Structure 1
Amino acid sequence: MRLFKQKEEFRKVLISWYLREKRDLPWRRTSDPYHIWVSEVMLQQTRVETVISYFERFIDKYPTVFDLATANEEELLKVWEGLGYYSRVRNLQSGVKEVAANYGGIVPSTRGEISKLKGVGPYTAGAVLSIAYNIPEHAVDGNVMRVLSRILLIEDDIAQPKNRKIFEEVVMELIDKEDPSSFNQGMMELGALICTPKPKCLLCPVQQFCGAFHEGKQEELPVKLKKVKKKIVPVFSFALQNEKGEWLLMKRPETGLLANMWEFPMIEMEKNISAEQALYEKFGVKIKHLSPEIRFKHIFSHLTWEIQSFHGIINELPLKQFQFFSEEEVEALPMPVPVLKIWTELKSR
């Protein structure tokens, strides 16, 4: 590939640009591998602007590996509340428990060892190793694949997991052995700020090395074939109160989607029936009148909920899995984003 003949100059230009233009982010002010690990987990499928405040609160509450390893899960989910993809924080805690138990609280500094930890994939492993330990290891995410697809005119589909190996090998060929931290972060930053899905080529510091720019193909790359359409599921959500004004909530199962989170009774609809009938058939709860509240969509990675929420009054506790909570108690429970949205709407009335 043409770039390999100019790789020293490419590294120099990229790293110089990164050190000059990088955003001031809290996880860039530390070399603590645990803190960097937390940031990388939070940044998965979440915008940087959103992560900043969550990261700061999280590290303030759980400053060390041992603090997180011994954390109460319900409190942990509450701190994570709103970030979504809750399996991330469960896996993070599991991995951290391994570090506390087997490595004396020190995050492993080899790819072989760190990759064995729960929830640590090839990207996270490479990011922690290169950023925290300054070890030349690849850290290939979507941003990096987009950048390299354009610079090196790689036309392999980046949505295919098998093609990630191509990009990992390219990074290991290009990476700066003296400053792998700045190199990897420079690649990520370039993809986040300049080499975006709609590239800002005139602002690009490495434009001179870019094959796609010189051939006018920057809008065509990377190749990413469309995924199958997500399943759309209609959902009823029932915000029910007793005569004391307490709210009826239930805890989701320990495994699966939104595990162990608290929610108003929810029903994924499979047939066209009324909300009152659905509530009776599913939970045995009879309510003559339910008033409709907000209607909205909530998008997961594999499906979309089309949620219609209702409010009503209930006189007795229907099933063992339900509990009544005061408003203050509800505020303390970890709830998923769609439930938070309904709760916020109810409180604003």
Structure 2
Amino acid sequence: MRRRQFLSGLAAAAAASPVFGLFGRAVGAPLAGNARNVIIFYYPDGIPGKSQDGEGSLWTPSAPGGSVVLSPVLEGLGDDKKDCVFLNGLTMGPTDSGSHPGGAKKLLTGVDGGNGISLDRYLAGTLGAGTPHPMLYLGVQANVNNASGDKHISYVSPGVTVTPEDSPLAAYASLFGGAAPVAGTPVGPDATDVSVIDGVLDDMNALRSQLGDVEKSRLDLHLEALWEVEQRIKAPQAPVSASCDDPTVAMPFGASELYLPERFPDLLRAQIDLAVEAVACGLTRVVTIQASHHTSELIMSRFPGTPLFEPTFDMRSHQASHYGNKHDWNKKEFSSYVKQRQWWV
């Protein structure tokens, strides 16, 4: 399929009314028929594309005679390639070429500097409308070291990102219900009836009256982002059918282990399983999973039970991405980088 043909078809599908006919289905029941769902998966620090010395990409598949041949990095897809559409010829443009932060800003917005709403947020207002959670933004150590701003890829408005939920434990409670309060424990105001923003609105209005137009616009954007986070936290819990009641998701970790490198594979698997359960149970149709963040210091050589595991050697994702001008398999950074990308796939 030609790139232009695919993108035109995608645009037409987004505008087609039959998609919205699915919204009448009872929330909390397993999906049936031709469901329309989107799960966006992000991992950091790029791909081994064409080298600066002109060596061919290890990412892009080829199609001799119309039959897709997977690249070394994508070969893990195996027979699933028949269900894949591979896009080629897309670039970040001259502004963000080779830039970790620039790529993260443009990835879902398509705009330099992240100056636009991201694709997942657009889909939340269209495809996700009418579901208990218009979209889920799940992270896996995406907030490590207090990451914020352009470390995140979901933009609610131009230049304004929100924070993903890094804890599968908290995400599960939000989706499928948390523990009941202990008997006799004083219960405060209903969180769904209280707005933190409303409580300081008078102060915000007083502050706005002292600001210029540019500063007012920035303040409004930040308030909008806070409001979106608040609405996400207070999203109503959907009744679930018997098949979606108390779903089983393996979580072999505790809340204190969310940022240990060796727990990363388990955390990632849990977030992926949660995303699948949430979609299958009709709680959402749009999910973004952000694994770590750009310029990541994630030590991938500490992943036990994976081909990356080297207990006596630390190799970080960002470190490996700066392997140099050529594809030198004798260089530890390059060989580790390719193995890391293969593991992500």
Normalised to the residue count of structure 1, the TM-score between the two structures is 0.24
Larger radius of gyration: 1
Q: Whose strand fraction is larger, Structure 1's or Structure 2's?
A: 1
Normalised to the residue count of structure 2, the TM-score between the two structures is 0.24
Q: Which has the higher contact order (CA 8 A, sep 6+)?
A: 2
